[in-house]
Structure 1
């Protein structure tokens, strides 16, 4: 049975500065979760911007069709590891963290860079399976989540006993104020990211902080894999950022003390998943949906290459990190 087509709407101009865009990648398909359609990504022509966006894009009413087989639940991804791949990854992953000097960065990443912040009230926007919230709760934070997926929200409540608001963030009218709001790989999914950050600003206490992670369009992975880069993920990623555009967005939303940087800590997953359609067909991955030893080794090699590149180019990390403060 063919999936139902996704209704689209034009998005010809840059969301941040209104400039026209040039085609960056065309005829993209969803190789991860099988959403229908072919998609085009454009990049802003302005040298002071560089935002990347989907044009045309799914309408707000129809974008749910792109998530029908999406992972937000217990398992860490759509594809599962073979037994041999699990053994190899269990050996190589901790070894690579130590040898590449990523142990401290990985600890900070897991606590979403709030490791030096005194615990208080924390909200995670798009909390998914709740693992991060549970980790932050163990670190002393009073946590709550927001989620639009009812299955994910129910799972977090049942598994961890954490309160989750089901529905759009802007419907949290009586919530807050929070000391910290976090979101990991959420901002790229929304039609109006500025409105989302403005809502976060409203929900924060004065001097409260927002921390967000999102794919970095200036990353080594994007330069290496091009249209096959895992971070593109059409048609779910509507806007894609770099340090410059992410900073501009936060400042437009009213935040101050904005800091942005990149991190290579997630390069393993990017290397494992950034494969062309030809590679997928050659290795029968489209049929089996399994992560093999070959995939694990690919991810390990890319983690090494990306980490070495990062030593000389701090803008090359696979993810942008932003921390900003509500100053008024």
Structure 2
């Protein structure tokens, strides 16, 4: 987006953002949970970390707690529906749509999508595949090259899924929540995928149950999510990219997910933190999250006023000066990726389960 057009859009959005923020951010949160939303333990959870919105820079403080019994990590207090709407806005659509699309269209993302499709292909030759949380369905477009006989459908809450049909990435779109549409989709799909989707949902257990309903007997569920047990989550602390606050609400340890899938009637056929699902961004993102607050602020509609010309020039000059450090961190991510993928340091894990 040209700078002038972006500036005009920010100016147009600013009054609405300022009106929403006039009363503070407390109203965007539900009451604090006293126990664990995963195992229902009533023991008081321990605080794992307190952080901020490192990506968009929207105001607010976010706390991740960890269950003392099952190890589940969750946002506490959790965002309400109003809060989710506020913090998602202008990330996948609107102001941030172009940059988000470029991220998914990048070569690294396309390679990751193809690796995920190959992993599933080892267990099934699907006729009909539903990708949940598909957004613009970039995964489906990449996977179709490996599975030309598979019919890909997408489900998402945003309008992006409807654009994906018009752009030919999927043949059918469902707009809404899987938990609301599961009965309509019952026994319809050979494969259902959730790529970095489950951590965004208010109730991951309900999503898994809905996936079981939508799959045919013998169908496969493919899940990729952040690995909260990665040592990088402790080493990098609140600047570890997969925490991705405030959008990520739940972080399910691999063991917990296996148990829940088996309880629902799935048979886990593949599950590991060691694999090609790792996304090599840990060091470069942590470096940027450390540097960015030191720079003059970039203009955003949730800021009370636009930065002056001097601040804009200073930001550009300082960001340019920091570029070698950012490139070094990115190079280290890529260099270490083959090793990380063979260890517990992987920032994501993959599970493939068959409906019983």
Give TM class, smaller chain: 0.7 to 0.9
Q: CA deviation at 1:30?
A: 0.7
Which residue number corresponds to residue 169 of structure 1?
178
Q: CA deviation at 1:246?
A: 2.1
Cα distance in 1 between the residues matched to 2:166 and 2:30: 36
Q: CA deviation at 1:158?
A: 1.5
Q: Does 1:115 align with 2:121?
A: yes
Cα distance in 2 between the residues matched to 1:183 and 1:310: 20
Distance 1:112 1:189, change over 3 A: farther
2:293 equivalent among 281, 296, 309 = 281
Cα distance in 1 between the residues matched to 2:113 and 2:165: 25
* Unaligned ranges ≥5, structure 1: 81-88, 94-102
Q: Please tell me whether the aligned partners of residues 131 and 194 of structure 2 are also in contact (alpha carbons under 8 angstroms).
A: yes
Q: Does 1:308 align with 2:339?
A: yes
Cα distance in 2 between the residues matched to 1:267 and 1:285: 28
Q: CA deviation at 1:74?
A: 6.2
Q: CA deviation at 1:183?
A: 0.9
Q: Does 1:208 align with 2:219?
A: yes
Secondary structure at the aligned position of 2:139 is classed as helix
Deviates more, 1:217-226 or 1:193-202: 217-226
Cα distance in 1 between the residues matched to 2:61 and 2:264: 32
Cα distance in 2 between the residues matched to 1:326 and 1:300: 41
Which residue number corresponds to residue 158 of structure 1?
166
Q: Please tell me whether the aligned partners of residues 271 and 303 of structure 1 are also in contact (alpha carbons under 8 angstroms).
A: no
TM-score relative to the length of structure 1: 0.81
Secondary structure at the aligned position of 1:37 is classed as coil
Q: CA deviation at 1:211?
A: 0.3
Q: Please tell me whether the aligned partners of residues 230 and 270 of structure 1 are also in contact (alpha carbons under 8 angstroms).
A: yes
Deviates more, 1:185-194 or 1:298-307: 298-307
Q: CA deviation at 1:155?
A: 1.8
Cα distance in 2 between the residues matched to 1:208 and 1:229: 34
**RMSD value, Cα:** 3.0
Give the count of matched residue pairs: 301
Counterparts of 1:125-204 in structure 2 under 5 Å? Answer: 125-138=132-145, 139=147, 140-150=149-159, 152-160=160-168, 162-172=171-181, 173-175=183-185, 176-204=187-215
TM-score relative to the length of structure 2: 0.75
Q: CA deviation at 1:10?
A: 1.7
Higher helix share goes to which structure?
Answer: 2
Cα distance in 1 between the residues matched to 2:78 and 2:189: 33
Q: Please tell me whether the aligned partners of residues 250 and 258 of structure 1 are also in contact (alpha carbons under 8 angstroms).
A: no
Which residue number corresponds to residue 252 of structure 1?
263
Which residue number corresponds to residue 280 of structure 2?
268
Cα distance in 1 between the residues matched to 2:130 and 2:102: 29
Higher strand share goes to which structure?
Answer: 1
Distance 1:254 1:38, change over 3 A: same
Secondary structure at the aligned position of 2:202 is classed as coil
Distance 1:115 1:283, change over 3 A: farther
Secondary structure at the aligned position of 1:181 is classed as strand
